[in-house]
Amino acid sequence: MKLWPNVPGKKVENATLYTGFAGKYMTVANLFIKYRAVGISVTLLKYDLYCRNVIRITKKKIMLKRLLAPAIFILVLITGNPFQTNAQTCDPITRSQLKEMLIQLGFEVKVLEATPGKEKFEVKHVKDGFNVPVGYEISASTNYIWLTVNLGNKFDDYSSKNAQLIRQNGIIQPCQFYVTESGRLMMGLAIENRGVNNALLRNKIETITAKVAETNTYWKSN
């Protein structure tokens, strides 16, 4: 009696079982391969149709741009550039506009000088526990807006405080300490009078009031 190769103890007739199983396995494998081939073919067909559609849409866009370009060019020639936006004005503000800005920022404005062309205003601010009255005026040339704070009488000419204040000027700039002809110690901040708006003015107010508070040990009298 012959035995099935490599399968000790199995009879030849049992080989039909293995053959039948292998045949079924091969049939399933062939179907799987055919199914995958059909799937790939469908995918390639879809991709080809997609590419054709993209090319067709791109051509339409190019044609549309070519048609619109002359029309836009003619529109610009007739009406000027319709897409150009207006730049922010850089005109200097007037003294009345300066007062109005301070009111718009919510401050109570006191008029220190009402002479036309010399108007000066004051707003009492509070910064880090310090009362900081800031004066506002526009220079005679109207090129600058001055924010000033009166810090009291100047120190004696031979006081070491003066040298300390000068050194602080290099730290607190663009603010600066200075002394008036009448002997008052001041801190000032000059703003170029171009393109000034409420936001810029508020920022400069914050700057000078903060510097006054930060340097209190230098300008306060003992």
| Confidence class for position 79, pLDDT limits 50, 70, 90 | low
Nearest to 220 by CA among 136, 120, 132: 132
| Confidence class for position 163, pLDDT limits 50, 70, 90 | very high
| Confidence class for position 221, pLDDT limits 50, 70, 90 | confident
Between 57-61, 119-123, 162-166, 218-222, the lowest mean confidence (pLDDT) is in 57-61
Residue 35 clears pLDDT 60, i.e. is over it:
no
pLDDT computed for residue 62 by the predictor: 72
pLDDT computed for residue 94 by the predictor: 97
Neighbours of 218 (CB within 10 A): 16
pLDDT computed for residue 36 by the predictor: 53
- Specify the CATH number of the domain 95-219: 3.30.1460.10
Q: Are the beta carbons of 156 and 139 closer than 8 angstroms?
A: no
Strands 120-127 and 130-138 come out as antiparallel
What are the residue boundaries of the structural domains of the chain, listed by start?
12-79, 95-219
**Model pTM score:** 0.61
Torsion over CA of 122, 123, 124 and 126, rounded to 10 degrees? Answer: -140
Q: Which helix (H) or strand (E) holds 49?
A: helix 15-79
Cis, bond preceding 174 (omega within 30 deg of 0): yes
Assigned token pair, 166? 């000068």
pLDDT computed for residue 7 by the predictor: 47
Q: Average model confidence (pLDDT) for the chain?
A: 80
64/86: higher pLDDT: 64
| Confidence class for position 3, pLDDT limits 50, 70, 90 | very low
pLDDT computed for residue 19 by the predictor: 46
Residue 11 clears pLDDT 60, i.e. is over it:
no
- ∠ CA 150-153-157, nearest 5°, is 130
